[in-house]
Amino acid sequence: MQAINFSARFVPIPMQKKAENLFPQGLEIAKALRDKTCLGGDMTHWFDYVVKEGSEDIEAICKIKNSIQVPYDMVVVIGTGGSSLGAKAVAKSLTSSFDALCQPPSLEHPGLAFVGDIMSEECYGSLVTGLEKYFPLIINISKSGGTLEPASGFRILYDYMVGRFGSEDVNKRIITVTDAKSGSLRQLTNTFGWTSQVVPDGIGGRYSVLTPVGLLPLALAGFDIKALLSGARDYHDRFAEKISKGQSDAAIEYACYRQVFQAEKLNIELFIALDERLKDFIEWWKQLFGESEGKDGKGLFPAGAIYSRDLHSLGQYVQDGRKQLFETFLTFEHAEKKRGSYESVRITVPKIEALAGDKLDFVVGMPLSAINEQILKASQVAHFDAGVPSLNISAGELDAYHIGALIFFFEVSCAVSALLQGVNPFDQPGVEAYKINMLALLGRPDLHEHGKNLRQKITSMGMT
């Protein structure tokens, strides 16, 4: 069964033809990606990882889960960027919108919290206060251990955990995912004897969700990582088979359309979901494409929205504003089925005589999902008529299997899209500029002179 469907019916015919002319080039790039001969080929281990090492990961993670010697009902993940966005995207996509009301965290169903990506006293203050009600397990995810935001967060939570559980027992509640041999977090792991898994070589953070980086926290919180990997593996196998036969694939076609839109000066991609649970999937997608493509003055700007909510905020701009964007819609054919321990029932609009004054009796009996489908169609047609093209990406059920397939789909498509522009999808040199300035301003000794010059520049610009 095809897990992912792609459609460009809301794209003008001339643009469709331009995209189709790119398909052969996209296919050759996909083959180079498979063969690790593309630009940045040494960082493409993720492409075959789900096939070669995935099963071993599941076995190792199950052993870790079964070996935990302390009770826990809350898993706190410390990480930033690719170290946490992927796991958060999966977890939130597969969790009830009102999870705290439907199924509060328990020993049978642990909760999952994510920190380490912002520097907020309120955030850590409220987290530490909230953790008093739970028995937390800490997962620190960092290849080096030296990134400021998560490392600071780990210090704060380590201090809290030692104060609560003691300097010996706290080590039973800390798990790390880090480099196999080097880095400060590996050294700390070895010193304290923390349980650990390895960040695989040849895989960047934003491509790491289907490795222990994403799989370990998801498994400890009770998510079905076997189904997640199965979806990714099946898409990998179909994709590899198709390109071996010289056939195009939805992931290639999506990448090609993105290049056509960029050539047409539609430089913003508005990635849209119809389900609030997918807002963190959008955040993962934004990092994947933004960090992979945004180099050398190239790349589409990745933005996101949830419809119909954002039709009441961004809809006016999309309809009548500057024509500089296109939309990509992510939908599921069966988004209202049962997930995990939550029973999603078909909720319809009831007939209530006392409220008939709202003049909405014509939707009585309609499921909310059916109304949502019409909102999608109405907005796509209206925006297309106003000169805003759109793409459709759809999957089957909103479940672990199809989320896994989507993750692999977008990883492949992102890599092909960047390579079509001659950009290395797997590095992020621009990120280092702010980091060096930040560390210099905070007083790192080896950056003293740079910090001095920065402070003079900041003062001359009127900042204090």
Just list the catalytic residues: 291, 312, 435
State CA 105 to chain mean position distance: 23
Q: Are 395 and 3 in contact (CB under 8 A)?
A: yes
CA distance 378 to 298: 32
Q: Kindly state the DSSP code that residue 300 receives in the 8-state scheme.
A: P
Lookup: tokens for 110: 């642990």
Residue 265 has a CB neighbour count (10 Å cut-off) of: 8
Side-chain half-sphere CA neighbours of 462 within 13 A: 0
CA distances from 66 to 59, 62, 197, 220, 400 (A): 11, 6, 15, 10, 22
Q: In terms of Cα–Cα distance, which of 181, 212, 186, 253 is closest to 46? A: 212
Q: In sequence order, what E strands does 24-116 have?
A: 74-78, 111-115
Q: Are 88 and 280 in contact (CB under 8 A)?
A: yes
Q: Are 2 and 234 in contact (CB under 8 A)?
A: no
136 bridge partner residues: 74
Lookup: tokens for 260: 């056509």
**Given the structure tokens 């080096």, which residue do they identify?**
144
327 bridge partner residues: 270, 390
Q: Helical H runs in 335-447?
A: 368-385, 400-420, 431-441
CA distances from 149 to 145, 167, 276, 417 (A): 10, 23, 27, 30
CA distance 45 to 207: 9
Phi then psi for residue 403, to 5 deg, are -65, -40
State CA 61 to chain mean position distance: 21
Identify whether 313 is preceded by a cis peptide bond (ω within 30 of 0): no
Classify the C-alpha dihedral 163-78-55-340 as positive or negative: positive
CA distances from 1 to 262, 396, 402, 403 (A): 32, 10, 11, 15
| Torsion, CA 195, CA 187, CA 161, CA 124, rounded to 10 | -110
Amino acid at position 440, single letter: A
